[in-house]
Amino acid sequence: MLGSRAGLETTPAGVRILVANTEIGQGTRTMLAQIVADGLGIPYEQVEIAQPDTSVVPDSGPTVASRTCMVVGGLLEKCARRMRERIGHTSPAEYHARQGRLHVEEQYAAPEGRRWSDETYRGDAYATYAWGCDVAEVELDPVTHETRVTKFTAVQEFGRPIHPAMARGQIEGASAQGMGWALLEHVVMRDGQMANAQLTNYVIPTTLDTPPMDVVMLENPYAGGPFGAKGVGEMPIDGPAPAVVNALRHAGLDVRSIPATPEALLSTPRLRSVNGASDAAQEDGAR
Amino acid sequence: MRTRFTLNGEPRELETHPMRRLLDVLREDCGLTGTKEGCGEGECGACTVLVDGEPVVSCLVPVAQAEGCELLTIEGLGGDHPLQRSMMTEVGAQCGICTPGVVLAAKALVDAPRKPTLARVREALAGNLCRCTGYEAIHRAVLAAHAERHAK
């Protein structure tokens, strides 16, 4: 991982990014091309990305841990700046036509003071972390125990978003998944296999199950990331289920596991009467 | 059996088993792979196409039922429908598997003059599962497309 490399080469049309990271809909290609275009000061349209074929691209480390933007994007920002120094004020396409292909590559070096072993995979894998806070407003039917999230607020600090609309999509999508995990999605394992691996018996949220979401992206540029960015891919799925469970606990149910389906909630011990706020207020008043 | 229908405005006639899934006929016989198979059991809506203007899940429709009908697949929109553009600008697609079905399921709402409420958008898309977006960007895209389509 510490040996992660990323490359950039000139082409007749501009530049080509050489990284091993995979686009699976999260926007990696767009985001990396933006970093390179801005680093070189050229239009986005002049940046292409090689297919992540190991015969063509260097080992950039895995597409994991929301590291692609911060680590690989960071390497590409360095590549772009180095290429800019080499080619001066000509465009990469002009340089390519006159001088031939220019290839630059950067290798990841751990920030000072951070310890990590590639042999034992122990230490601090990453130099920094993103932060988040989720608020779930939940309605619970005291008879059927059906639970609905009526409003969800996600506040995330991941340095600076490279592409705010796509970053928002990462947060909204992960929040919906997290709420599905909290209330609906029950994996049944039988003999080492998932016994309900169909959408008929493994229910995920629809448009009618997801609440309106407020997304706040707090900007706090991180000096070690490209244009101040950290990573956002996975973090927003962590908070929603705890937020929903805490809301159910606030409503008086001693929820200890998810998914908190109506049938599970029916047999969940009470912290106090499920009739909610008025009882809680009385309890507080009595203290 | 010979089957005839209109596909994206063009008359089509083909020889096939009447019980084959419309989804397979569209993808394999007609070469229109924009229609995606998600679950194959009518739950997810990824394979939605319009049959005489109505959204149907093509994985549950035997091709015989399309006899004489007007079919519209995502290819028939030509990439220039306001909803296709707003799905890009609002980033309503991430992995993209649900996108053709979402666009066709929401097309009627966008084309109708009356501005849809958010609740109506949610209801119209309740049969189209999306795992990536949390639906918020899709809702924004539908409302933006309606505004563009009916801008004075």
pLDDT digits (tens, 9 = 90+) for A202-231: 999 999 999 999 999 999 999 999 999 999
B83, two tokens: 């909803």
List all residues of chain A from 47 to 86 with a beta carbon under 8 Å from chain B: none
**What are the DSSP calls for A144-204, one per residue?**
T--EEEEEEEEEEE-S--SSHHHHHHHHHHHHHHHHHHHHT--PPEETTEETT-STTTS--
Q: For A261, phi and psi rounded to 5 degrees? A: -75, 160
What residues of chain B lie within 8 A of the CB of A204, using their CB? 129, 131
Residue of B nearest to A28 (CA): B94
CB B95, CB A25: distance < 8 Å: yes
- Cis before residue A259, ω within 30 degrees of 0? yes
The conformation of residue B65, written as its DSSP 8-state character, comes to G
Q: What is the mean pLDDT of residues A104-126?
A: 86
Domains parsed from chain A with CATH numbers: 5-110 (3.30.365.10), 131-286 (3.30.365.10)
Using a CB–CB cutoff of 8 Å, tell me whether A168 touches chain B: yes
In A, which residues are within 8 Å of B137 by CB distance?
Answer: 165, 168-169, 172
User: In angstroms, what separates the C-alpha of A174 from chain B's closest C-alpha?
Assistant: 7
- In angstroms, rounded to a whole number, what is the distance separating the alpha carbons of residues A48 and A9? 10
Name chain B contacts of A26, Cβ cutoff 8 Å: 94
> d(Cα B126, Cα B138) in Å, to the nearest integer?
12
Domain over B2-76 is classified CATH 3.20.20.70: no
Q: Where in chain B is the domain with CATH 1.10.150.120?
A: 79-149
ipTM: 0.95
DSSP state for residue A46 in the 8-state scheme: G
Query: Is there a contact between A163 and A27 (Cβ–Cβ < 8 Å)?
Result: yes
- Helix H, strand E, coil C: the string for B18-30 is CCCEHHHHHHHHC
- Residue A19 and residue A60 in contact, taking contact as beta carbons nearer than 8 Å: yes
- pLDDT for residue B56: 97
pLDDT band at A34 (very low <50, low <70, confident <90, very high): very high
Q: Do A208 and B122 touch (CB under 8 A)?
A: yes
> Under CATH, domain B79-149 is a member of which superfamily?
[2Fe-2S]-binding domain (1.10.150.120)
In chain B, ranges of CATH 3.10.20.30 domains = 2-76
**Contact call for A177 and B133, based on CB within 8 A:** no
Query: At A124, is the pLDDT very low, low, confident or very high (cuts 50, 70, 90)?
Result: confident
From chain A residues 23-42, the ones with a CB under 8 A of any chain B CB are 24-27
Q: Does B131 touch chain A (CB under 8 A)?
A: yes
